[in-house]
A and B are shown apart, each in its own frame.
Chain A
Amino acid sequence: MFANEEDILKQAEKWKHEGREVAIATVVETWGSAPRPVGSHLVIDGEGNFLGSVSGGCVEGAVVTEALEVIDEGSPRMLEFGVADETAWKVGLSCGGRIRVYLEPLD
C-alpha cells in the first residue's frame, strides 16, 4: 500500500522517538504543472531513509541530500526546483513545473 500523508507524519514521529534524526520537507508552492500538491510531505531520517514524496521522483534525491545538511545544521531552508533552475538538466522537473519546498529539522 502507498503511504498517505497520515502515515508519513506518523512515521516521522516514530523515527524521532526511536532516536533517529529527522527532517520534514513540505511542498509550499507550485507553479505550472507540478506532480504533487501543496502540502505534500517527504520525511527523511539521518541515514537518508525517506518516505513520501514532493515530486514524481524527480527531485527527491536532491531533497534527501539537503535534508542531511539541515539535520546537521539544525535550521530550516527553502529549496526551489524547476526548469528555470540552472541545474535543470541535472535535477529538475521534467514536467516543466516549478516547486518550492520547505525543509526543516524535527527537534
Chain B
Amino acid sequence: MKLDILAAMNAERAARRACVLVSDLDSGEQRLVVEAALGEDPLAPLLLAQLRSGKSGMVESGGRRLFLTVQAPPIRLVITGAVHISQAMVPMARQLGLDAVIIDPRTAFATPERFPNVRLVPEWPDEALPRIGLDRYTAFVALTHDPKIDDPALSAALRSDCFYIGALGSRKTHARRVERLTEAGFTPADIGRIHAPIGLSIGAVSPAEIALAILAEVVASLRQGDGA
C-alpha cells in the first residue's frame, strides 16, 4: 500500500466520510474511492452494495479478484435528554458499537455521576448540535418530552441527513409536536422521517426495555433502511 493512500484513508475517517479501498489481489494495484466519487465509479454498484453492508469483502469483476476495504465512519447516537431511558441506553449503545452523545441543558440531569464514561454536553441543543454535527452516519433520539429542548434538536435533525430520527412521547404528545413542526415550516414528508411512537413495538415497559426497543429500531434503519 502506498503511504499516501493510507494517509488519505485515515484523513477520510477523521472527517467522518466513507471510502472504499479497491485492491486487485493479483496485480497488487490499489486505488481509494472517496464517498463523493462512489456514485460515478465504474464499479459503483459493487462499491455501494459493499458500503451498505458495512463490511469489507472480496468481489469479482471482469475476471479480477478485488478486495474491497470498506471504511465507514463510526455510527453516532445523539440523544437529547439525560433521563432514565438514556442511562439504560448508553451501555447498550456501547455494546452495539454506537458512539453516544447526551445533550441536556438541565445540569441536574446531565451529571457525570448519572452518566459516567459517555460524552455529556450540558448545553441547549441549538448551541451543542452545530458543534457536534449531524450527518448520515448519525441517529438522533429525542427523549426529554420537553418541547423547549426536543423541538430545536428535532428541527436540526430534520434539516440534516441523519439516518434515523426518533422522538419519545405519546400519540397525543406527538400530534402536538407535529403541529408545532408544521407551523415551523416542515412538510409532512419531513415530519414523516420522525419515528413516533419511538422504538420497535415489543410492549416495552421499563426504561431498559424502551432503550432496547429504540436501539433495535436504530439498527433496523441502519442495516435495512436506505440510510447510511
Residues of A within 8 A of B (CB): 6, 9-10, 12-13, 16, 24, 26, 28-29, 37-39, 75-76, 78, 102, 104-107
Contact = CB atoms under 8 A, between A and B. Distances in A.
A15 to B, nearest CB: 10
B10 to A, nearest CB: 6
B23 interface: yes
Given A28-B25, A39-B56, A106 B3 contact: yes
Contacts, number: 50
Contacts of B10: 9-10, 13
A49 B25 CA distance: 25
Interface in B59-94: 67, 69-70, 74
A104 B1 contact: yes
Interface residues of B, number: 19
A39 B21 CA distance: 11
Contact of A9 (B9, B23, B58): B9
Given A6-B13, A78-B25, A102-B67, A38 B56 contact: yes
B200 to A, nearest CB: 26
B28 A76 contact: yes
Contacts of B39: none
B55 A107 contact: no
Given A9-B6, A10-B10, A38-B58, 12 more contacts: A12-B6, A26-B56, A28-B67, A38-B55, A38-B57, A39-B69, A39-B70, A75-B28, A105-B1, A106-B2, A106-B6, A107-B1
